[in-house]
Structure 1
Amino acid sequence: MSLSEELQTLKDFHCENRCVLSVYLNTNPADPDQQKGAWKIQLKSGFKRLEEYLAAADDKAETEAFKKAKDRVVKEIEDNRNDLKKGVVIFASADPELFSVYYVQIPIETNFYWEDHPVIDELHNMLSAYPNSGIVMPSFGNVRFLDTAMGYVGDDFTYTFDSGLDVWREQKGLNPSGSRGTGGSHVDDLDDRLKENLERFYKSLAGDISKMKKERHWDEVHIIGEAEYAQAFAAAMQKKPDSIQHKNLNNSGADKVLHEVFGK
């Protein structure tokens, strides 16, 4: 299920009384306000405010429903406390049952909600800013792919170009006349063959983009690479990409690539 589909499922979720705990927790270690694990204090404070509100309402059934949802949220965060990235978003309900967790790599504000439905506005805004996307980075030696959504890279994989250079090097030295020759015809021929083979490699991968897009639920496809390779790959695609940037980031970290593509 894609994130867009998950959002729709959350949007459709309702209960007769308040039963859904929505938690947006800023755990960004680079945030000055998050030094020394400040998120732990914010987590306790957020729950305390809701508990005080429920105590004033004096509804035992609602208080018990909140406690079950809270306990599950606390366990999830404690079990993953060493891999919280920049933020975590959780929607939890005991009856009817709901538990959705999103670890994100983009800054979020800490907020807590106890309602009869998941509060998804902030999550929706995150997905609008960082949609489900495939980022394609073609170069001469390989094509790197990032599978990403909401600033989080779910997969980072590379297809390598098998140029067959060893065979071509042997052919390059052949000369029926026995002389070395005076022109650059062998080099030109090698370059032409390399170019043709690279174009076939791109065309083969580009033909799989539609399948990848469907299987990985990509809403967008972006290409970033040196001009020659980026344009060649885009030309091989059946459908025009959502953006093309001329910059070689194949050896760069995922965060830098996302920043260049989405400008955030």
Structure 2
Amino acid sequence: MPVKTEFFWEETPALNQLKEIYNEFPKTGIILTQKEQIKLIDAELGTLNDTRLFELDLDTQSWRLHQGPHAAQPSMGSGGAKSSKKDEFKERFEANRYRWYKSVAPKLDKLAKEYGWERIYLVGDKEELKDLQDNMNKEADEMINKNLLDHEEMHVIDEVIFN
């Protein structure tokens, strides 16, 4: 984060620049959506504080907090069965998306309150963001139609906050 070089020789600290930076980059929440995954990034002053990943368990049709590092998806190999399963999942997801996002929205609101977010960004598919925003009590400051879920967290912060 760029700052101006300033020097003061006074009895009390000069905090104006720090206050300006905090006003420009307050406690921020970035919520990234992509189908059955939702990632939360907690940032302040342009730095990463915490990350949480929710995954939709299709068997129980509920969201669970993913523990541990984000797992890369293994290669499925080639074959015709993969595309039919993918199409089946896509149809099932689209049919139930609103209901599933409605079930996770209170968890996101609770975390936004716990983290004390002053600014919230929603990032993902336009339709998914609309469904999520409709069900959240907290109003998003900005909705960004980009797929950044699989990007490194600092890249996401740079892309969302500084651009």
Q: Please give the TM-score of this superposition, normalised by the length of structure 2.
A: 0.71
Using the TM superposition, give the Cα deviation of residue 210 of structure 1 relative to its aligned residue in structure 2, in angstroms.
Answer: 3.0
Residue identity opposite 1:128 in structure 2: N
In structure 2, C-alpha distance between the alignment counterparts of 1:252 and 1:131, rounded to whole Å: 22
Match of 1:4 in 2: none
Query: Contact 2:97 / 2:128 at 8 angstroms: preserved in 1?
Result: no
Tell me, which stretches of 5 or more residues in structure 2 are unaligned? Answer: 61-86
Which structure 2 residues correspond to residues 216-231 of structure 1 after superposition, within 5 A? 216-231=115-130
Deviation at 1:160, TM superposition (A): 0.7
Q: 2:54 aligns with which of 154, 159, 164?
A: 159
Residue 109 in structure 1 maps to residue 4 in structure 2: yes
**What does residue 143 of structure 2 align with?**
244
Change (3 A) 1:216 1:190: closer
Show the 5 A alignment for 1:16-165: 106-164=1-59
Aligned counterpart, 1:174: none
RCO comparison, higher one (Cα < 8 Å, 6+): 2
Amino acid at match of 1:157: R
- Alignment equivalent of 2:97, drawn from 189, 198, 208: 198
Q: Which residue of 1 aligns with 2:80?
A: none
SS at match of 1:239: coil
Q: Is the 1:146–1:153 Cα contact (8 Å) retained in structure 2?
A: yes
1:232, distance to aligned residue in structure 2 (A): 1.8
Bigger share in helix:
1
Aligned-residue RMSD, C-alpha:
2.7
Larger Cα Rg: Structure 1 or Structure 2? 1
Which residue of structure 2 aligns with residue 210 of structure 1?
109
| CA distance in structure 1 between the partners assigned to 2:140 and 2:43 by the alignment | 16
Structure 1's consecutive aligned runs of 4 or more residues displaced over 3 angstroms after TM superposition are 109-116, 188-193, 195-198
Give aligned-pair identity as a percent.
27
Q: How many residue pairs were aligned?
A: 138
